[in-house]
Structures are given as structure tokens and as C-alpha cells.
Chain A
Amino acid sequence: GAGVSQSPSNKVTEKGKDVELRCDPISGHTALYWYRQSLGQGLEFLIYFQGNSAPDKSGLPSDRFSAERTGGSVSTLTIQRTQQEDSAVYLCASSLDGGTGGRETQYFGPGTRLLVL
């Protein structure tokens, strides 16, 4: 597609359930990023993939959060045993290349709004 796509657009779940959020980056973009946007914390960087590899997972809020990327394309962010504080908008972004140069611009998807009841 032309841009980053995310699904679902909205997700309502019950506390304690697991959820999977999907991100499909711009074709050809090797770098992929996940962010969380909440009223209390603003925009937080969660994790970065270069290809299928995520060298640093320290930004994930807890061990209930995990992310994977297969085939260098689609990524899934999984939240296990969801809590009410997990309610937020989860944004995905991609860029042509990540690396440490920082030159590449990140293009964002429309996000998934997660509500945990």
C-alpha cells in the first residue's frame, strides 16, 4: 500500500485478555517502530525493528508486551493479560533504513486505539 497500515483501528477488550495489534509498513521500508500514545504519558517509543531483528527491547513497558516481525515486513505487537493502564493509542511507523544515522524520516500509520475495560 501507499502508507503504513494498522489493524484493527479500534479494539475493546476485557482486563486479563490478550490482544494482538498489527502493523504493515510501507513497501521497501526496512525499519519499523512502535510507539504508545496515552493521555498521561504522551508519546513513548516502545521498540524498533531493523529487518526482523529488535536489538533493544528495553522500551517495552513490561514483560506482558512483546513484538515480532517476520519476513522483514508485517509486525505484531502483543499485549498479554491486558490491564486498564494499557489503554492507549498504539502507533506504528516505518522508515527506509534505521541504523544509527538518524537521517531517515519515520512515517506513521493511523494507530490502533485500545480500550481495556
Chain B
Amino acid sequence: AQTVTQSQPEMSVQEAETVTLSCTYDTSESDYYLFWYKQPPSRQMILVIRQEAYKQQNATENRFSVNFQKAAKSFSLKISDSQLGDAAMYFCAYRSVYADGLTFGKGTHLIIQP
């Protein structure tokens, strides 16, 4: 079974600065999908960014980008120009091409200091 590890339970960053959230995963599969979801206090899980394992190019979505290192099984999220609205729990998730559900990490609580 796959596992996803987020080693930072909490991170704090000054507004307008850049922060990187770590995620590593364990799998024997070569094709899979990786996601970062954001969960604010409203509980709604919001997709931030996704990455297909077969793509070498790192995904980017405006201020959000990933550093996908397939050999190292690492999938970190970089948030540039942090904004107060970025404060939330961030979850890294893995989806096998052979399974239906997502496997989530324990999450990182991101605090934005004004």
C-alpha cells in the first residue's frame, strides 16, 4: 500500500514571502497522480495543484508550483508571495492508476504572519 508523509505539522511564513511544504511518498508503481489540496477552517477541500507522474515538467498554478522528484519520491509545494488567504491545512495526496481513492498525508498547518 502507498503511504504519504508530510513531515512538517506546522509552518509559519511572513506575508509576501515564499514557503515550501514537503511531501514524500512510498510506492512501487511507475504511473500515478499527485495532488495538493488546501483545507481552510470551512472544511472545504480545495484542489491547489496536480501532477501526473509521467510528466517531467513541474506543474504550476499562478503563485503555486511543485518540485516533483520522481526518483526521490518527493513532491513539495512552493507558495510564492504568500497571502493571508493562503492560511489553511495543506494535504498532499496520491492516487494510483489502479485504485479509486486518494491516499492523504497527515497535513501541514500553514500560518501566514501579517
Contact = CB atoms under 8 A, between A and B. Distances in A.
Q: Which range contains the number of A residues in contact with the other chain?
A: 20 to 34
A45 B96 CA distance: 13
Given A42-B106, A42-B107, A43-B91, A105 B47 contact: yes
A105 B44 CA distance: 15
Given A33-B100, A43-B91, A102-B95, A108 B44 contact: yes
Contacts of B101: 33, 35, 45-46, 48, 59
Contacts of A59: 101
A29 interface: no
A106 B43 contact: no
Contacts of A43: 91, 102, 104
B2 to A, nearest CB: 11
Nearest to A34: B101
B104 A42 contact: yes
Contacts of A42: 104-107
Interface of B: 32-33, 35, 37, 42-47, 50, 52, 91, 95-107
